[in-house]
Structure 1
Amino acid sequence: MSNPINNLDVNPYLERIGYTGPIVNSAYMLARLQEQHVHTVPYENLDIINHVPLSLDIPHLYNKIVTQHRGGYCFELNALFGWLLQELGFKVTHYFGRFWRDETDTPAKRRHHILLVDIGDQQYIADVGVGGAGPRQPLELVDGLEQVQGNETFRLIQTEAYGWMLEEWKKEAWEPVFSFTQEPNLPQDFITTSFWCEFAPESPFNKTARVSIRTADGRNTVDDDEFRIYKSHGVHTFKPVNSQEYANALYTYFGIKMPN
């Protein structure tokens, strides 16, 4: 019996994210792929909110994200992006991370999926699963190196307690985003935590809708029933008055067409 993963084609995925450049194992291509991804595939937890069970199997994720033009959250997005990178010839290692941003109950739980990509003698952290406020390009894994991306600045530092810590420069201070240790993980290692995110009473993922995507001049987000359209000159917020307006706004601002 053939493996269904072997029947998947990377070309529709590249079309999905609008990548038309050369297929070359390089840091430049990796950066282009991630930047295209975060501008075309939204972070979203709508299946969790609508009680649709998640699957982290690659064929299922491919169907959801590529064929149906949906998004997902970190365990979905980075699993499929990691598969794409490997199919394109990149060396990829999967890590678990603690997500610190906006976390009030610290130390943060291990509930984030992160990718390490080796290119020659350099290593990069690639992540398309944070949402509109995450790094738009991979970050070189160099202790203390400040890396500017547009109007955002990030750095990775080594800590004694939590391994590597990604920080962002925000309000004149370095703020933690996520941390990780360099223990390789297999696809099945993420299933239990993803299940917790779906169903645990304490999970932040099953309370309200969260949708986010980068745009050319900002980002679009949904917080429960409020849409926020961030642009360089400010933010426009609105709440759809009925389910049809909500569905139309999801499609307009995120390209998401939910099944009936």
Structure 2
Amino acid sequence: MHVETYLSRIGFTGPAEPRLEVLRSVHTCHLMSVPFENLTVHSGGRIQLALPLLYAKIVDQRRGGFCCENNGLFSWLLSELGFQVTLLSGQVKRVTTGCYGPPFDHLVLMVSLGGQRWLCDVGFGSAGFSIPLSLETSGPQEQGHRVYRVRKDSGMHFLEWQQEENRGAAGDWTGIYKFTLEPRCLEDFDEMCWHHQSSPCSIFFCKSMCTILQPGGRLTYIGRRLTSTAFLSEASGTLLKTTTRELKDEEIPGILAEGFGVVLNSPLIPKDEMVVPLPVMY
């Protein structure tokens, strides 16, 4: 771990001390510099959850990764900066079935700072939050035009949002994932990491993807499509402007390099197949 090199990779400047404003800044910088992607799975490689390998991939090779990679490495950075970090097991809610995935389906982080606990996640995707969320309240937490909350029920915590709207505390809430506060270690996620690389029940196996947060929007590649989303103001009458275009196979390497800063060592096989529902519902 070379902290200064990592901070340079994510574009963070300034004193890197264990303070809340630093936590917020490195969290947002990471999301805007390191893509959420699974392209190793679709270019002949295999993801392994060893911190030196994750550092080499994300920092040295300027790649991205999915939750175990991005959040696993980010937890190392935060620890090196003096933050108290706990790895947590999350279960993502499937849009198609309305059911949650199995334990260790998603890796998230809890940071304890000054007697307060914060949820951090730089490895989720389009529904993810850009600034750490407080675990000390179940009330709405606004981030731009979006609003999130962490609801607690019978020892389980539920991350929810109102999608691209903010209708206040009484609005309709949609689940993103659930998690407990039981401490975990990176090795606990090995089995599910392999599942996501090999199972037709995982979106990461069924679809080649890469997405990154941008100033005022998001850029997303899936299969043979590129989607650009702009977050607009309420005064414009709409909160989102989305444009999508089809890609030819020969265009994709250039798109990944120019739009996401990702250069693969092996040819990518674009993939966009239906995800098979999990046989066991959680």
TM-score normalised by the chain length of structure 1: 0.92
Name segments (4+ residues, structure 1) moved above 3 Å: none
Aligned-pair distance for 1:226?
A: 0.2
CA distance in 1, matches of 2:111, 2:83: 7
Tell me which amino acid in the other structure corresponds to 2:39.
L
Deviations 1:131-154 (Å, cap 9, x if unpaired)?
233100100102312111111110
Deviations 1:74-129 (Å, cap 9, x if unpaired)?
01100000000001100000000011152516143230001000001000000000
Aligned-pair distance for 1:230?
A: 1.0
CA distance in 1, matches of 2:117, 2:99: 28
**Unmatched 5+ stretches in structure 2:** 166-170, 233-240, 267-282
CA distance in 1, matches of 2:196, 2:249: 28
Q: Indicate the residue corresponding to 2:71 in structure 1.
A: 78
Name the SS for the 1:79 alignment partner. helix
Q: Indicate the residue corresponding to 2:211 in structure 1.
A: 212
Residue 235 (1) aligns with residue 228 (2) = no
Residue 11 (1) aligns with residue 4 (2) = yes
Q: Indicate the residue corresponding to 1:116 in structure 2.
A: 110
Q: Indicate the residue corresponding to 1:35 in structure 2.
A: 28
**Could you say what the CA RMSD is over the residues aligned between the two structures, in angstroms?**
1.5
2:141 to 142, 147, 162: 147
Tell me which amino acid in the other structure corresponds to 1:246.
I
Q: Indicate the residue corresponding to 2:255 in structure 1.
A: 249
Name the SS for the 2:28 alignment partner. helix
CA distance in 2, matches of 1:65, 1:132: 19
Aligned residues: 251
Tell me which amino acid in the other structure corresponds to 1:124.
W
TM-score normalised by the chain length of structure 2: 0.85
CA distance in 1, matches of 2:53, 2:75: 15
Name the SS for the 1:250 alignment partner. helix
Q: Is the CA contact (8 Å cut-off) linking 2:85 and 2:110 kept in structure 1? A: yes
Name the SS for the 2:203 alignment partner. coil
In percent, how many aligned pairs have the same letter?
33
Q: Is the CA contact (8 Å cut-off) linking 1:209 and 1:223 kept in structure 2? A: yes
- Closer/same/farther in 2, CA of residues 188 and 232 from structure 1, 3 Å limit: closer
1:30-179 to 2 correspondences below 5 Å: 30-100=23-93, 102-104=95-97, 106-110=99-103, 111-160=105-154, 163-170=156-163, 172-179=171-178
Tell me which amino acid in the other structure corresponds to 1:255.
G
CA distance in 1, matches of 2:187, 2:196: 15
Q: Indicate the residue corresponding to 1:5 in structure 2.
A: none
2:15 to 22, 29, 36: 22
